[in-house]
Chains A and B, each alone.
Chain A
Amino acid sequence: MRSVQKLENSSTNVVVVRNAVKRRAWRTPINFSMGRGETVVLTGPNGSGKSTLMQLVIGILKPEEGEVRTFGVDPFRRAWVRRWVAVAFQDLSLEATLPISESLGLHARLFRGHWTRVVELLERFELDAGVRPLELSGGQKRRVELVKALIQDAELYAFDEPTANLDREGTECFLEAARVLKASGKTMLFLTHDPAVLPLADREVNMMTLKQGGGEVEKRQIVLELSTWNGELDEAIRAVPGVLDHRVEPNPEVLERFGITAGMVKQITFVKPGEKGRLDKLAEAGATTLQHATLFDHCRLRVETAEPEGALAELLMFLVNAGVRVYRVIEGP
């Protein structure tokens, strides 16, 4: 307890990464910090270095240049600082051949967790204490890894792809636990592509933006011709790794039928059935509004990105999963 007090007194930022270079993931210095009690979602394409950054923060790796401070100390040299850090890795990190009760029991002993807490979490995540990881599905392994982190009463929680492979119940169970942690003022770092996690975030940081030196990113554009578009896709595309900004343009032929040119369109607003009031407000503000069922058939999507190759791959995967046909890539890498 005395040590926790010491940590609280000595640092305002829980994590500070200053001019760090880790050549296997990035070669230009990056800067990153997390304030006490802050929840940060770190996004970015696969292989962009998110997990590497997390491993720097918890002290598994050390940067070749620059410095990392977690609770004010170098976590690579001062291993004891990890007493206040809980980590859920992307893959299950526990011994594959041991019953999870044994591995989690060890973890609880190491971090002064109570066995009752382990049992409670196992029940909540619907896991059997006697099984071995070898016998578990991908989603169950993810649950075990999350339980491992949640056993700890840590100050900083780092979750690498926490909802990957989880079903809806598992995701909701985890999000509920994360909401409790957030409410109790814990600092949390999420590495994820999942839009379900975004509402928890106080701040979303894109790894590509970090690698480009903060906000000074050279943006590139990708333009795709798509079969359709809707409000849900418009929400979800924000979580696609590498996408910094986007804009959808209605089918110009449909617009032409109404005597409108593409340049005349000032804003696209997707309105849900119960939100008609929003349209009325726009009309009251003097805007001419246009609603038509085929407005987004054969539309164009303009995406701004810092890394066109990676973003296009992620984007195509997102569109295929959403059932949207891509007719062609008009501009891009």
Chain B
Amino acid sequence: MLTFREYLIVLVFESRQALRRYELWLPYAISSVLGLFVIAKGYQAFGGEKAQAFFVLGWVPMVMVIAGTLGTVSAVVSLSLGGLAYWLSLPLSVGQVVSAKLLAGVSTSLLVSLFALSVVAALILHDAAVFAPSKLVALMLLGAAIAGLLAALAVLVRDLNKLSVVTVLAGGVLQYVSDAYTPVLALPAWMRPLVFANPVSLASNVLRTGELSLLFYLTLEAALFFGAGVYALVWRVRRQLG
């Protein structure tokens, strides 16, 4: 017997709660858009329109990494500090509870990236094509991949106070070992396989080129990472329950 109805209700509820926690995402959304606007002007001044377009379409997925970290950390913390009894008494499996909470975290990173994308479309590139469905799907997939990867890594940390060690490090790798800011050919050869595999690079290139084959790889990565994150958190919750 399926429990989609209950799952959707919890997902919508949790996403609404995540979005209402504006203190978590709004300051970052504003500062990231400010950075986007100013640095885009610099790229334009030094490299022209093409360099500017390259930068801004890499910046939007990059924004998701930090916003995704915030969302994932709050999901992991809420699943680790008690208060689980209610969710586990619902007609939902532990996996469904965990995935709903992780996806709620994704909703905040998606909101922040859409905010940045709107600034790109309205103030920098003056092009509504950045809102093409394939590009929005890429952002959603990237959000899921980041949340899953960070959740899977968070399980390695026993002490929640030290969660930032893993999330900040992993977030740093995701942001900088990518071609979000720098063309891959300008990076050292040993770095390139990592750059190609990085979901942030894949999403950046979908935004830049709209290439659907990249979307396919991104889908695979999102499924793999999100699945790993849910599995790891389910394991942690069960271990916690005893």
Contacts and interface: CB of A to CB of B under 8 A. Distances in A.
B9 A81 contact: no
B17 A82 contact: no
Contacts of B6: 83, 110
Interface in B2-57: 2-3, 6, 9-10, 13, 17
Interface residues on A, range: 20 to 34
Nearest to B242: A24
A80 B2 CA distance: 7
Contacts of B241: 60-61
Contacts of A3: 1
A82 B85 CA distance: 13
Interface stretch (B89-97, B120-128, B197-205): B89-97
A93 B242 contact: no
Given A61-B241, A61-B242, A93-B83, A106 B9 contact: yes
A220 interface: no
Interface in A141-193: none
B90 A82 contact: yes
Interface in B109-163: none
Interface string B189-225: 0000000000000000000000000000000000000
A87 B242 contact: no
Nearest to A51: B85
Residue from B89, B91, B92, B241 whose CB has the most chain A CB atoms within 10 Å: B89
A60 B85 contact: yes
A229 interface: no
9 contacts: A60-B88, A61-B242, A79-B3, A79-B90, A79-B93, A80-B1, A83-B6, A91-B85, A93-B85
A105 to B, nearest CB: 9
B86 A94 contact: yes
Given A106-B9, A110-B9, A93 B90 contact: no
Interface in A196-253: none
A311 B148 CA distance: 49
A98 interface: yes
Contacts of A94: 86
A109 B9 contact: yes
Contacts of B9: 106, 109-110
Given A93-B83, A98-B17, A80 B91 contact: yes
A79 B93 CA distance: 5
Residue from B13, B90, B91 whose CB has the most chain A CB atoms within 10 Å: B91
Interface residues of B, number: 20
Contacts of B85: 60, 89, 91, 93
Interface string A74-98: 0000111111010101010111101
Contacts of A98: 17
A58 interface: yes
A203 to B, nearest CB: 24
A106 B8 CA distance: 12
A78 B1 CA distance: 8
A80 B3 contact: yes
A60 to B, nearest CB: 5
Interface in B67-99: 83, 85-86, 88-93, 96
Given A61-B242, A78-B1, A80-B3, A110 B83 contact: no
B96 A79 contact: yes
B83 A79 contact: no
The 7 closest A-B pairs by CB, nearest first: A93-B86, A80-B1, A82-B91, A83-B91, A79-B93, A93-B85, A60-B88
Given A80-B3, A93-B83, A110 B10 contact: yes
Contacts of A96: 83
B92 A79 contact: yes
B85 to A, nearest CB: 5
Contacts of B83: 93, 95-96
Interface in A37-86: 58, 60-61, 78-83, 85
Contact of B89 (A58, A91, A95): A58
Contacts of B86: 89, 93-95
Contacts of B93: 79
Interface string A1-30: 001000000000000000000001000000
A81 B13 CA distance: 22
Nearest to B13: A106
Contacts of B3: 79-80, 83
B162 to A, nearest CB: 24
Nearest to A23: B242
Contacts of B89: 58, 60, 82, 85, 87, 89, 93
